[in-house]
Structure formats: structure tokens, C-alpha cells
Structure 1
Amino acid sequence: MDASNETTERTDLQRPLVDQKPPSDVGLESVLTESSLPYRRRVYLGACIEMKLLFRLALPAILVYIVNSGMSISARIFAGHLGGKELAAASIGNSCFSLVYGLMLGMGSAVETLCGQACGAHRYDMLGIYLQRATIVLALVGLPMTLLYTFSYPILVLLGEPKTVSYMGSLYIAGLIPQIFAYAINFTAQKFLQAQSVVTPSAYISAAALLLQISLTYITVYVMGLGLMGIAYVLTISWWVIVGAQTLYITKSQRFRHTWTGLSWRSFQGLWSFFKLSAGSAVMICLEMWYSQILVLLAGLLKDPALSLDSLSICMSISALSFMVSVGFNAAASVRTSNELGAANPKSALFSTWTATLVSFIISVVEALAVMAARDYISYVFTSDAEVAKAVSDLCPFLAVTIILNGVQPVLSGVAVGCGWQAFVAYVNVGCYYIVGIPVGCILGFTFDFQAKGIWTGMIGGTLMQTLILLYVTYRTDWDKEVEKARKRLEMWDDKKEPLQN
């Protein structure tokens, strides 16, 4: 080797990695720890890398969650054009059914943490075991839920809801009961795919199911004349179409030959331990989802329950649609955080957390401004009632604030899932939502007679408190310790033991 070539080779070896490769080909941790680069340059290059990874995960996940939420919203739209009582019945039915939705989604999120850890440890065979075990546990949990919804009419009446709305809502709920077990399979499969950064196929499947649902609902309502029950039946069928397509994709695709090795008796082992592990995740998610649905239930106790239910359910539908965008970033943040912690990259985990939070916040501000600009017209998508439209317009400022808060809080919850903080967040949710938010809302709404605005003000207060606590905890997190916790879990796998969260 001549002197000039030797000098060139030595220079290439000494040159920083980020100068030799484009940002997309360089690891995030190597960029953030490159001391030869100015701080601003590191942040810029890190943002280029993280934004590409983040949106690759978040955008398909957002589409999945929007479509899933859109299925419920489209059902309300069809019910709203049948009549005010039908809209109120579908709204209260969907609100009550969110109990099982939140429960199944929450318990399924434990799969996301464990499958993410298994991917990081290259224990790919465990992903399929976790998927089966979670599905069994969720299906067993669904059995008592069917009994609860079978007797939904007396329960709604006992809660003080109007008898006519309760009766129609109970019929609507009866048509959704088979959907419980579709949730049990769908959410575990969804988390199984997300942990492997496979989200686009689920988006295609969900989009196709939404189109099918809209088409079939139109036929059952306007051609066959099945009314509210037809809407419920089609919604249930659509969810089972999603389940069937996802199951075929996972079991037949060669893409998962290492993570899905077929049915195994090992999935029946440790069901109780897995249930306890899932319970923390379920409590965390359920407390968040039920919080907004309680607002709808409380509206049924106000002076004009039909108007309050209709206006609040429309606002909640819009909020839920916006919330799905943040939930997409929640999923992306969870995957990115767990992956980086598993790879022993504390700076990358920190950077991923704040990047996802900032991006979601900016998007939520844009959404809130759009809602305020369309406040006088937005309700006509759901109903032609001018009185309801005016009530929705009056509530839009509260809706805008809620959308902005929901742009931050779900992302931080995703970070909590990635780190295994579900139990802590559950305690925070109980304190902020149910000790502060709901009591304050009831006092303002009923005692001070601010009606729906008072209830919603209390709810916003609880959400704001929770968001501030999560921001502080995330800011104070020692990411090196989080990496050490992840390493200890991986050592358990080396001993052929299954990982459990601390």
C-alpha cells in the first residue's frame, strides 16, 4: 500500500460516522453521541433519522385507529339520520360498549411491551406464544362481559338514563355482543404486528373493512329497513372481517415464519401470571377511555338529556377521531422507546420520546384550529337538527382544548408502555380523572348549573393535571436506569425464563 492510499484510509477511519453516511443510514445513537459535531447539528441529524422512523410507524397506525374509530362514528352518523332518539341510543350504546373496548385494548397493550422486548432479544419464537396466550386471556375476560351487556337495559335504567333511550340502546348493544371476542383477537394481533414494525397491512385491512361497513349499513338501513339493529349487526360483522383478514395474514405469510410457528400448548402456561401482567395495562388504558365516555353518561342526567347527549356525542366523536392521530403516535412512541431501550440506547430513547411528543402536539394544535374554524357547520355531518348544531358550536372551545391536551397525553402513555410504567400511570389516572376531574365536573355541571360545559370543564382539569404529571415524570426519567431495567429482562431470557415487568 502506497503512502497516499494509507493516508486516505486513515482519514476515512478517523472521520466521524455521520460524515461518511447519509443520516438515514446512520444509527440515531451514534449521531447523538458524536462529540465532534456541534449540538445543533446533532439535533438536526437526529431529527432527520427519528422523523423518518417515527412517521413510518405512526402514519399507518394512525390510519388503522382512525378507521377503527370511523366504523363507530359512521354507525352514529347513520343512526343520527334515522332520528334523534336513534342517535342518542347509538351514542349511549357505543359509550357503554367502550367499557369492553378499553378493557381489551388495555390488556392487549401488555403484548406490545413483551413482544417488543422479545424482538429486541431476538427471541422471535416467544412472539407467537405471547400472541396466543394474550388471546386466550382476553377471550376468557370477555365471557363475563357478555353477561353484563345481556342485562344492559336494567343497568342503564338504574344509572338514571331515560327508559326509551335505554331500551333502544340495550337492543343496539345486544347486536354488538359478538364483537367482544373480535376485540380479543384483533387487539392482540395488532400489537403483535406493531411490535415488529409491521403496520401497513393492518391499515389496508381496516380501510377495506370500513368501506364494506359503510356499503352494507346503507343497504341494511335504506334498502332492507332494519334500522338501528341493522347498523349494529353490520358493525359487528365488519370487525370480524378485520379479524379474519389479520389471522390469515399472520398465519399464511412467510414474513412471520420466525415469530409465528403455529399453535402451541405453551400458550396455556402461566395464564394467571399473564393476566396479572395485563391488568396494569388494562387499568391504565381503561381509565383513560372511560373518562370521556362518563361525560356522555352524565349528560343523560342533565335537564335536557336528548339535546345534551346528541351535542356531546358529536363532540366526543370528533374528539375520538382526533384522538386516534395521537394514539398512532402513541403506538410509534411505544415501539421506538422499547426498541431503543432494548438496544441499550438511552439517548435515542430520550430523543424519540420528545420528538414524538412535539410532533403530535403541533398536529393537535392544527386540528383544534380547524375545529374552531368549522364550529358552526361541523355538526351537520352527524345531524340536520339546528338546535343540536348550535349546542355543538357552543361546546367547540372546550373540544379544541381537549384536542390539544390529547395531542400530548397519549404519546406520553405510549412511552410509559415502552418503559413498563403502566402501574404508575394507572395510579396517576385514578387521582387525576376520578378524584379530581369527575367530581369537579359534577359540581360545576349540577351544583352550579353550568350543565354540559361545567362537566367538561372538570374533565379538562383532570386531563391537564395528568398531562403535567406525565411531562414532569418523563423529564425527570433516568434513561440509563431504564436501559439497565431492560437489560435485566433480557438476562431472564438468557436463562430461558420469560420476562416480566418490574
Structure 2
Amino acid sequence: MTAVYMRHLIPGLFAYAILQCILRFLQTQTVVIPLVICAVVPLTIDFGLSYVLVYHTVLGFKGAALASAVCLWISVIMLGLYVNYSDKFKPTWEGLSLESFQHVLPSLKLAIPSALMVCLEYWAFELLVLLAGLMPNSETSTSLIAMCVNTQAMSYMITYGFSAAVSTRVSNELGAGNGDRAKNAVTVTLKLSLFLALIFVLSLIFGHNIWASAFSNSPTIKKEFASITPFLVLSVFFDSAQGVLSGVSRGCGWQDLAAWTNLIAFYVIGMPIAILVAFKAHLYARGLWIGLICGLFFQALTLLIITLRTNWTKLELSVDRDREETVVV
């Protein structure tokens, strides 16, 4: 069933690829409100379309996947029309041209490490679910890890917004020769992200039973979720920090360095510890999450040290030099 569902999502992948390009184009120009509108409208359509396709057609659960794909294309069309017909973007968008292909290789040098950054981190979370399925109490462990992954993902949506904002702000300020303002943007964004993470964490601590009830009515699952909540709190906190710092890395052009950091954090440190503590110490789901916490801690600490040791004036000059070399070419 999972494979069938994923096959019906394939048309949406092409839309998602185009959508991400348009989003970055608009984010670098600090365009916000149209992005919100073009997210809310397709989301609203998705609710109704999913209901109709799932319950009133022969598609069944496959209809939900098709609805998501259709709504992604709606987002692409809405934003594409906005960019194409708005006078605001005439100085920055002159249409498709062969000249753009001259910058494919420089873009790939950033895009490939950036993709690795994201994939290495996301795959670690998915690997936890697979490992949970190998445990003696696989049904309980898999459900518990899935609940934790979903909870972490929801909390990360806040961090993701800050990550995109700080990436855009830092790159723009460095490009404008304002190293100090880029540094201030990092400080402010990191504090805001940690503050909102604290609110989320407190809500989780005092309302974990209510939250668990949204996923399962099983007393066993609720009890196990209560026992893993302290570990989940730590992972949310570290994740909120690394999310912003990863955005700083993208804004500064450190994608390759961040990719190596993620590789070591999750696959040299995090996953081996998770397997050892889960299977050898018999902590099972809690052991898996402890390993993830170790990976997130190393990731956040490493990126924080890199950021704190950054000479923003030199970085600003480096950006200016790269821009001059690009102009000469």
C-alpha cells in the first residue's frame, strides 16, 4: 500500500522541484505575504479534494496522494503567474534564457552539498523507524518512534521558518557588505527559535497525555510515550538550535562543511549509539532516541562553534571577492 501511495505522489515531485526554485527566488527578495496566500489556498483545496477523492471515488487512499500532487501544481501555477505578471519582479526576472545555463555548475556546487545536508538528517529519522521494527516489541516501538518523529517534525516547522529566514537574511547582508548585520540576524533568530522551542517543550511536558491521545488510545502506548517525553524534549531543543545554525550555514555558503557535520553527527555518532543503547542496553525505543539526541547535540554544537568562530568581516570580504570574480567571468 505504501508503494502504491508513493507512486501516486510522483506527479507532485516535479511540481515540488519547481516550487522550491520559485520559493527561493521570492524569499531572497523578502516576499512573504504572497507565499502565505499561495500556501493557504492550495491547503484549503487539498482538504476538500482529498475528501472527495478518498470517499467518493474508486481511488480510495490513492486519492489523498493525487490530491497532494494536484495542490502542489496549483501552488506552482499561482506563484508562477504572480512572478510573471507582477511589475515588482521585472528587474529580477526577464524570462528564461540560455544565459542561465552558464551558472549551472556554480549552482550545483552549492545544491549538491545542501541536498546532502537535508537528506542525511532526514534519513536518520527514517532509519529510527526501521530499527524500531527490528525490536522484540516491534509494534509498540514502531508506534512510539513514529509518534516522536511526527512530534519532532511538527516542532521543526517553526524552526524551518526561522532557518529559511536567517539563510536569506545572512546571504543578503553579506552580499550587501553588512557583516555585522548578518551576525546580529543570527543572534536574534537563534534566540527566537530557542524561545519558541521552550514554549513547545513546556506544552509537551504538561500535555503529553493529551498529545499521545491524538495518536493512540492504547494505555501501553500512552505510558511509553510519557517515559520517552523527557528525551523528546531534549531533541526538540537541540533541533531548534541546529535548524537555525544550518540556515546560517546555507546563507554563508558552508553547505559542504555542514554536510560533513551531519554525516559524522548522525552516522558516526548518533546511529551507532542508538543501536548500542537500544539493543545491547535493552532500552529499545528510548535507546534509539538517546542516540538521536547525541547526534543532534554534536550537530548543533559543531555548527555553533563554527558560527561563533566566524570572522564576519573576512567573510564579507570573501563574498565581495567572489562577486567580483563572477563579474569578470
Shared fold (TM-score, shorter chain, > 0.5): yes
CA deviations 1:267-310 (Å, max 9, x no partner) are 33353453333111111222222222222222222223333333
Give the superposition deviation at 1:218.
Answer: 2.2
Equivalent-residue separation in structure 2 for 1:303 and 1:239 (angstroms): 40
Q: Is 1:377 aligned to residue 210 of structure 2?
A: yes
Equivalent-residue separation in structure 2 for 1:380 and 1:208 (angstroms): 30
Equivalent-residue separation in structure 1 for 2:223 and 2:41 (angstroms): 35
Contact 2:169 2:182 in 1 (8 A): yes
Structure-2-length-normalised TM-score: 0.94
CA deviations 1:434-473 (Å, max 9, x no partner) are 1000011011112222111101100100110111111111
Secondary structure in 2 aligned to 1:178? helix
Equivalent-residue separation in structure 2 for 1:414 and 1:235 (angstroms): 27
Q: Is 1:348 aligned to residue 181 of structure 2?
A: yes
CA RMSD of aligned residues (A): 1.8
Aligned residue runs from structure 1 range 114-263, under 5 A: 168-224=1-57, 226-263=59-96
Give the superposition deviation at 1:397.
Answer: 2.0
Equivalent-residue separation in structure 1 for 2:30 and 2:284 (angstroms): 45
Contact 1:433 1:459 in 2 (8 A): yes
The 1:306–1:266 alpha-carbon spacing in structure 2 relative to 1, beyond 3 Å, is farther
Contact 2:167 2:247 in 1 (8 A): yes
Higher alpha-carbon deviation: 469-478 or 393-402: 393-402
Secondary structure in 2 aligned to 1:269? helix
The 1:240–1:305 alpha-carbon spacing in structure 2 relative to 1, beyond 3 Å, is farther
| Residue of structure 2 in register with 1:480 after alignment | 313
Equivalent-residue separation in structure 1 for 2:58 and 2:201 (angstroms): 38
Q: Which amino acid aligns with 1:224?
A: T
Contact 2:110 2:253 in 1 (8 A): no
Aligned length: 329
The 1:276–1:478 alpha-carbon spacing in structure 2 relative to 1, beyond 3 Å, is closer
| Residue of structure 2 in register with 1:466 after alignment | 299
Structure-1-length-normalised TM-score: 0.62
| Residue of structure 1 in register with 2:245 after alignment | 412
The 1:220–1:293 alpha-carbon spacing in structure 2 relative to 1, beyond 3 Å, is same
The 1:465–1:373 alpha-carbon spacing in structure 2 relative to 1, beyond 3 Å, is same
**Divergent runs of 4+, >6 A:** none
Contact 2:110 2:255 in 1 (8 A): no
| Residue of structure 2 in register with 1:403 after alignment | 236
The 1:350–1:260 alpha-carbon spacing in structure 2 relative to 1, beyond 3 Å, is same
Larger Rg: 1
Q: Which amino acid aligns with 1:463?
A: L
Contact 2:49 2:67 in 1 (8 A): yes
Q: Which amino acid aligns with 2:273?
A: V
Equivalent-residue separation in structure 2 for 1:305 and 1:215 (angstroms): 35
Q: Is 1:302 aligned to residue 135 of structure 2?
A: yes
Contact 1:377 1:389 in 2 (8 A): no
Equivalent-residue separation in structure 2 for 1:387 and 1:238 (angstroms): 38
Q: Is 1:491 aligned to residue 324 of structure 2?
A: yes
Q: Is 1:437 aligned to residue 270 of structure 2?
A: yes
Equivalent-residue separation in structure 1 for 2:322 and 2:32 (angstroms): 26
Give the superposition deviation at 1:385.
Answer: 4.3
5+ residue gaps, structure 1: 1-167, 498-502
5+ residue gaps, structure 2: none
Q: 1:286 aligns with which of 119, 143, 151?
A: 119
The 1:221–1:282 alpha-carbon spacing in structure 2 relative to 1, beyond 3 Å, is same
CA deviations 1:8-40 (Å, max 9, x no partner) are xxxxxxxxxxxxxxxxxxxxxxxxxxxxxxxxx
Q: 1:334 aligns with which of 167, 171, 175?
A: 167
Q: Which amino acid aligns with 2:242?
A: Q
Equivalent-residue separation in structure 2 for 1:266 and 1:423 (angstroms): 26
Q: Which amino acid aligns with 1:485?
A: S
The 1:305–1:208 alpha-carbon spacing in structure 2 relative to 1, beyond 3 Å, is farther
